[in-house]
Structure 1
């Protein structure tokens, strides 16, 4: 197991290598026929999730021989910066835009403008609930919630007692994951202690989870709807000696989460496939440009990864995409 830890530095090396790819692909001529613009939630080279989406998109563009421009706010996710990038992309008159929206309510005018201009619109990761688009490429976030709940529910002698923690209750993804959890762990099947907002603070997550273990000593699980706060929750459970008796379940596959899973401080990760998301986003855009039939929803199944199966080859590819 110790040798596997060597892959984490390799993951960081892969991220650095992406800088060169970004420089080669970012400046695509605006007049290129059939151009596709991908706008991510962030173009931060330290964000492994979105850089893996980036890598998948590049692979599709190379395979399909289509011009691709990659954009995204630098640093943290910024809705206004993304709106300006979307406006700029529309002005360049591409054949298709692939967009991972940060907030739907701030881009209404831009989405309507893209539709009026006849630009194909493919949505990644986070669904648009009100605005029109051609196709949505993502994991089913409600199903992800069900997967998380199923790791907490089966095999229990008594009803699970659990809490949810989130960084943003207004997040569509978090709301859909919550829906999936509550569908499986309904009031007759489990005791839900509620959803606790911890913002972007690891310390808030720590004190929230520690307080829950004191107030509810029979707690059996914590489901973190986003990766923010996982570290704090894991630290709290370790400090009160409940790492192995309270299941900590999270989503996605940030480096801290992978390390916690490897050390046995997390029970389960529900992992999306960001490489496929980027690849299929560009592939779907190309199909629409060529007027082929495309599904309204292109589902990318998420995978349940535990300490017991994390070293299986297919799961290694999800956890360490830049190594393969």
Structure 2
């Protein structure tokens, strides 16, 4: 199978759990990022940092928003926290508000890889650096940083555990995230890289549930009404996996169908402990959000981040054996 993707500009997540900050070492061949609009100016810490994420009722996005908020306040900044609800128009309005309030930086989990390019450029043109977390955009040279989980590596971890849980054979369903989100395609590709090498595992259905729990429940319920001859479900995030868990439970098939998710959410960890899920893949949302704020502070106070624009952090596998070691999107200290 394909080897792990290289970590760009930061240490692996196992090292990050100590301090939640980037490595002082730069990878060979990667130039450090001097920011997008403030290289000529250095300032004292302070002022506004705007934090914009998708829906805050999703525990993953809430965790990253809370972590960024706490870190910014710790470093002496005021904060505004808002959700764009995956609506590019709302995101653009929130960027406009941050610009009008003369924010020192924007921490953004964006509303679409293509749809967000204009909003990020608008902030850059206004002299406000944007630090993207969790999701990339399909253009470089606009954001001050794009800090994401190593989704391909994490998906391969999850797929390996899924193959193990399935005993290397059976019929399975894949639930995919939003088509506009690059993470959805990368994770699905990582799953395929591993599962595709196991000839006795047969994919019988693949549907997008748009990262949504209720949509996942409805789609899995419909699939199981057509046929209960399903042995496993692998989902692109924990929210969809939990919808699948509920549908499988309602059908009385919990002991038969193996489910693997992705995110490392507290609810997924609880489902693993209860036997409803077999595994999830932790992407360190809180650590990545803290890194973004720290790099924003570095840019504001020194004129450069000292890191490349593209940065990728390794994920970790959570199973019943180590579930007690993890908390809210982070390994317990």
The TM-score by the shorter chain falls in which range?
0.7 to 0.9
1:48 maps to which residue? 59
Task: Tell me whether 149-158 or 290-299 shows the greater mean CA deviation.
Answer: 149-158
Task: Tell me whether 123-132 or 91-100 shows the greater mean CA deviation.
Answer: 91-100
Cα offset for 1:142? 1.7
**Does the alignment pair 1:112 with 2:121?**
yes
2:101 maps to which residue? 92
**Does the alignment pair 1:206 with 2:223?**
no
Counterpart contact for 1:43–1:71, Cα < 8 Å: no
Matches within 5 A, 1:1-324: 35=47, 37-42=49-54, 44=56, 46-65=57-76, 67-73=77-83, 76-130=85-139, 132-154=142-164, 158-159=168-169, 161-186=171-196, 189=199, 190-198=201-209, 200=212, 201-211=215-225, 213-214=227-228, 217=229, 219-239=230-250, 241-254=252-265, 256-289=267-300, 290=302, 291-312=304-325, 315-316=326-327, 318=329
TM-score when normalising by structure 1 = 0.75
Cα offset for 1:242? 3.9
Distance 1:186 1:130, change over 3 A: same
Distance 1:64 1:235, change over 3 A: closer
Question: d(CA) in 1 for partners of 2:268 and 2:167?
Answer: 28
TM-score when normalising by structure 2 = 0.73
Counterpart contact for 2:60–2:329, Cα < 8 Å: no
Higher relative contact order (CA 8 A, sep 6+): 2
Task: Tell me whether 126-135 or 274-283 shows the greater mean CA deviation.
Answer: 126-135
Which runs of 5 or more structure 1 residues have no equivalent in the other structure? 1-30
Distance 1:128 1:262, change over 3 A: same
Alignment length, in residue pairs? 284
Which runs of 5 or more structure 2 residues have no equivalent in the other structure? 1-42
Cα offset for 1:136? 1.1
The alignment partner of 1:222 has SS state of strand
Counterpart contact for 2:283–2:315, Cα < 8 Å: yes
Distance 1:234 1:33, change over 3 A: closer
Deviations 1:78-120 (A, max 9, x none): 3322220012212333332221101244344332222223332
CA RMSD, 1 decimal = 3.1
Cα offset for 1:240? 5.0
